[in-house]
Structure 1
Amino acid sequence: MIFHTVLFNFVENVTSENIQGLEDALRADVANFPQVTFYACGRDLGVSAGSDQFAIVAGAETAKDLEDYLNDPGHKAIAAEWKHFVATRHAVEFESKKYLND
């Protein structure tokens, strides 16, 4: 499986409602892409000091499937709309043939 992982920190004036709006928009958008077979996003729980504030992990069987999702105009529109709330963003795509502890 190919995974796309993104970590965000937000600007100081972002509200809880803003973050919920981003999460809702992302979940609604990914629902349009059945080729994205794994998706999770959410706020940091505060378990580890220094963690980023928000994470997204999306998985697809092929890099092409993931690229189709990431390059879709709807997905790009969400990124553009919410960009002003983001202070830092880090992303990585990687392949993992084993992703369960079996």
Structure 2
Amino acid sequence: MEITTISRRRYTQTVLLAILGSMLIVSVLATLGRASYNLTAAVTSKPDLAVYLLLPEEKIGQLKLLREEKDERHYYAETKDGPKLVILKRGEKQWYVAEVEELRE
């Protein structure tokens, strides 16, 4: 293919499509990266949000903090199966669910 046989209009269209495609790819990847960063921050530094992310199958409606210690938090959670006591403990890098107990009403 010879570059001299391509019209100016066709060349401009191709270049503009390439630029727009590149911008679209960069913006999608930046959005996904930011969302991933926010989820990581929620699990590592915000334990109140970590409960919702770590226990999605429980369908937690309401969450109350009962006790807060340096490396442990106790929550009262209203779930689809009734009230539960959720205990979170801090690991080396993030919070994790140590125990989930069903409570009587």
Taking structure 1 as the reference length, the TM-score comes to: 0.28
| Richer in helix (by share) | 2
Taking structure 2 as the reference length, the TM-score comes to: 0.28
Q: Which has the higher contact order (CA 8 A, sep 6+)?
A: 1
